[in-house]
Amino acid sequence: MNQLYPIFLKVHELNVLLVGGGNVGTEKLEFLLKSSPRAQVTAVAKAFSPSFLEVAGRSETVTMIEDAYDEKYLGGKHIVIAATDDKAVNRQIRDEAKERFLLVNVADTPDLCDFYLGGIVTKGNLKIAISTNGKSPTTAKRLRQLLEDVLPEEIDDLLQNLHAYRDTLKGDFEQKVKAMNELTEGLVRKG
């Protein structure tokens, strides 16, 4: 049973610590920046790969510190991603972050994670997150690709128009919900 609770975080308003500058660290950084191009990320690594430097170089909100992990880097952070190639260091990061009540993701170690970075589809203001509870990242990827292909680019225009219409509605909350439900009913009607 999937017991995950999906939420959408404003990572451009939170401080993220990413420890690791190799392939996995690059993947995690790409994921963060794809979903939230202004994500506030401090990356700490003994060395950064060329691909990591390329990805980080595209963002003004990524700070890189060339150093070994130290607990001091947890200060002022909200979220921590451990992506080193050393399982003991990843465990240390997780344990020290948990002592501070921080949310932690440890790459490729689901049992040490508070959250997972799942598949995400973004079409303007529409964002859909996909999780397989860690059972099949490949399936999540394929579903993401399917939704990206199926959802029209014009979906954002529809959302903008519905938002403008909602703002013109008068009456109490229940009347507004009823009007919006009637208007959007056709979106999910099965042929």
Domain spans, the chain:
15-117, 118-151, 155-187
The tens digit of pLDDT for each residue in 25-72 reads 999 999 999 989 999 999 999 999 999 999 999 999 999 999 999 999
State how beta strands 126-130 and 119-123 pair.
antiparallel
Q: Over 80: is that where the pLDDT of 173 sits?
A: yes
Helix (H, G, I), strand (E, B) or coil at 18: strand
The residue type of 158 is L
Q: Which fold has domain 15-117?
A: Rossmann fold (3.40.50)
Q: What share of the chain is helix, strand, coil (3-state, %, to 5)?
A: 45, 20, 40
CA distance to 112, 120, 159, per residue, from 154 (Å): 40, 18, 9
Task: List residues with catalytic annotation.
Answer: 108
% of the chain surpassing 70 pLDDT: 98
State how beta strands 15-19 and 79-82 pair.
parallel
Helix (H, G, I), strand (E, B) or coil at 2: coil
155, 147 contact by CB (below 8 A): no
Question: Which two structure tokens, joined as six digits, stand for 81?
Answer: 């991603």
6, 117 contact by CB (below 8 A): no
124, 152 contact by CB (below 8 A): no
> Bigger pLDDT: 138 or 79?
79
pTM score, whole prediction: 0.85
Report the alpha-carbon distance of residue 40 to residue 13 in Å, rounded: 7
The residue type of 71 is E
The tens digit of pLDDT for each residue in 111-146 reads 999 998 888 898 888 999 998 887 787 888 899 999
